[in-house]
A and B are shown apart, each in its own frame.
Chain A
Amino acid sequence: MHRRIVLVALLAAVLLVPLGASAQKPIKVGMPMPLSGPAALFGEPASKGAQMFIDELNARGGVLGRKLELIVRDSKADANEAVRQARELILKDNVDFLVGTLTSAEGPAVSVVAKENKIVFIAPIPKTDQLTAPDKLHPYVFRVASTTTIEGRSAAEIVAKWPVTKVATISFDYAYGQDVTKAFVDHLKKIKPSVEIVDQQWPKLGEQDYNPFINAQMAKKPEAVMSSIWGGFFVTFSKQARALGYFDAIKYNFIGLGEAGSPETTKSMRDDYPVGIWGNSYDAFYWGESAAHRDYTTRLSKYLRDEYPSSWAVQGYIGMQVLTEAIKKANSTDSDKVAKALLGLTVETPVGPLTIREKDHQANRGQLYGKTVMDPKYPFAIMKPVTYVDPTKFMD
């Protein structure tokens, strides 16, 4: 039995040796992102976008004469796992910065790790207001994603223009769903007092059977619906809703937040997509507003070897871009200096200039909105006309 302990020691020695070797040269960025489970749909392209930025940057010689190195770890869309990976990235891989996380549970949890280790953390995707709320804010957390306030209010502005008064909502019963729905309802009631909220449905996160919720909602006869059911779940929801004649009943007065209008979703559903509804997205390869965006899309398309590249890659890209600009401005990789440099920093991104506010470390990141139509150029629906809704006026 005791000889086993010798074995333990040997095993430990063998396994630990490679860990000791670490090169000092490149600037290391750790990225906890969901690479498995349903959220991998966004996590994977976001990490690819970040990698593309780094590859391009390193080809140009890097920043401050040093190359950037991205280390991606699977956070499984789970707060516990994200914290675990973030801590290991800091302790084992000695990363200088953290860029990552996806869900509204992961973001705030990793933010705490960043605070404790005094390491700059840039969140490219989580939208929950709690991440940068005054009681949670600390010098090292920044966000280049949109927020639930911005998203909810942008949608309210659109719905307010529709000739409807009876509005209903359907969202998942957790932080993101609740926050975005509240922002939407509050703002809509403020700008159009005649609106009446006739029904609110709260399926649990990851629900697979929406039939009871859809039937209950149709019974209340709303004229328009706001949904924040995201990603693959929107595919499930809209397939079931369409079969029940839900979209016909509300005359396609439906706005799908949580990127229901993203090319990934319309592409995977093709003819099954409820064409005619409104949706939003972080990016769309067909947007092409500026030369910078067209150029970015071409490069991304080549990088991912995909004719219709992902709309999520841009969030990873922007996250890395903002970090790099801050390192350049601080002329240092020290987190305290970079954190200071990030305040008020303006960066020319593929989606236009973004500024990190000093007040709450939040970038003015809006999203694309539009009504979906079939376009003969593509075998799936696109948002047309697609508009970037500037969030500045929605930010408190």
Chain B
Amino acid sequence: MMTRLGRAPWPLLVVALALLVPAVGSRFYTFLANDVLIWALFATSLNLLVGYTGLVSFGHAAYFGIGAYTTGILMKKLAVPFVLAFPAAGIFAGLAALVFGFFCVRLTRIYFAMLTLAFAQIVWAICFKWNEVTGGEQGMPEIPYPALDWMDRLPWVGDLRTSDHFYLLTVLLVALCLWALRRIVGSPFGRILTTIRENPERAEFIGVNVRRYELIAFVVAGAFAGLAGGLFGIFNRGVFPDFAYWTKSSEVLIMTLLGGMGTFYGPPLGALALILLNQQIVSYTEYWPFVLGTILVVLLFVFPGGLAGAAGIVSRRLARALRA
């Protein structure tokens, strides 16, 4: 029974389920689902670095921010269509990651984390102060939705709101990105990254150019974070310098950790759990940071493997109990 359950096309089912969310008819559920999807992509891109390659980036928000500003500026100020503005987010973020990463991968551990943080703060300072281009601290509101008129002509979908149309687009794009990331992780390249995480010296010994592979991983992670940012700017109806601030970097790191580093579906799960939890908590108390801090402490001490790790333990116990 377990094996048949295991063979079901789960990713496709989840996508199908996600596509059905607007049918519930609640604008809020669609909003929430949209938020979760984008953060899931963002967290998964970070996982490529932290979980698979063992590089702890404390400035991943920089690429998210660059992506968001790229798409935002292109669509709002230059009226570039989404078809071009969205990939541009990935390209620009990837290029920035290439430049920054070139320097970062030369360093190890703490120093790597510090330099990623420093670069992220540079990006943030530019977004915060360059009023003419980024709108400064007031941000850049009213990013237009992509032109999705063709959706009007589709059956079932035509009557939905613009925000629902954008959500459907997000589902498809995020699914595509996650699929691509899954392929990357499963490829020989992905396996080399894991080797680097486990033992960089050995990887070097068997002839792997560790720095080059780390740099490629950094660029790929940056590019996907940029794509997530591009979507988020539109979803958020505005781009703000906050996107690149170090607190955002720590937020996405917490999601990754909460879900479980190094497992592919852990970070999306972490994004889902953290966002839903936040929704519930803020209705009761203004002390969300306190709650978040406590969750983090519990996580670090009790479930260092995150939700995925915990679920793994539970399911193993269950399986054993069933067999017995």
Where the two chains meet, the residues of A that have a C-beta atom closer than 8 Å to any C-beta of B are 1-5, 7-9, 11-12, 15-16, 18-19, 35-36, 72-74, 78-81, 83-84, 87-88, 91-92, 104-105, 108-109, 112-113, 116, 174-175, 205
Report A83 CB to chain B, min CB distance, Å. 6
Contact A1 B263 (CB under 8 A): yes
Bound state CA distance, A298 and B243, in angstroms? 44
Q: Which of A2, A11, A78 contacts B276 (CB 8 A)?
A: A11
Contact A4 B308 (CB under 8 A): yes
Q: Which of A5, A72, A84, A174 contacts B137 (CB 8 A)?
A: A174
B interface majority secondary structure:
helix
A interface majority secondary structure:
helix
Which of B284-324 touch A at CB < 8 Å? 286, 288-289, 307-308, 311, 315
Contact B237 A113 (CB under 8 A): yes
Bound state CA distance, A12 and B276, in angstroms? 8
Report B135 CB to chain A, min CB distance, Å. 9
List, in ascending order, chain B residues with CB within 8 A of A15's CB: 276-277, 279-280
Residue on A with the closest CB to B240? A80
Contact B237 A92 (CB under 8 A): no
Q: Which of A5, A11, A18, A88 contacts B265 (CB 8 A)?
A: A5
B159 at the interface (CB under 8 A from A): no
List, in ascending order, chain B residues with CB within 8 A of A7's CB: 269, 307, 311
| Apart from A79-B139, A174-B137: 16 A-B pairs, beta carbons within 8 A | A1-B265, A2-B5, A2-B6, A3-B311, A4-B311, A7-B307, A9-B17, A35-B286, A73-B282, A78-B242, A79-B242, A87-B31, A88-B279, A91-B27, A108-B138, A112-B237
Number of A-B pairs, beta carbon distance below 8 Å? 104
Bound state CA distance, A36 and B141, in angstroms? 24
Given A3-B5, A3-B315, A105-B138, answer yes or no on A81-B242 (Cβ-Cβ < 8 Å). yes
Range, interface on chain B: 35 or more
B28 at the interface (CB under 8 A from A): yes
Q: Which of B14, B243, B289 contacts A5 (CB 8 A)?
A: B14
Bound state CA distance, A74 and B281, in angstroms? 12
Q: Most chain-B Cβ atoms within 10 A of its Cβ — which of A4, A11, A73?
A: A4
Contact A109 B276 (CB under 8 A): no
Contact B8 A19 (CB under 8 A): no
List, in ascending order, chain B residues with CB within 8 A of A11's CB: 272-273, 276
B204 at the interface (CB under 8 A from A): no
Bound state CA distance, A12 and B138, in angstroms? 34
List, in ascending order, chain B residues with CB within 8 A of A2's CB: 5-6, 8, 10
Bound state CA distance, A81 and B136, in angstroms? 15
Given A12-B276, A79-B137, A79-B139, answer yes or no on A87-B237 (Cβ-Cβ < 8 Å). yes
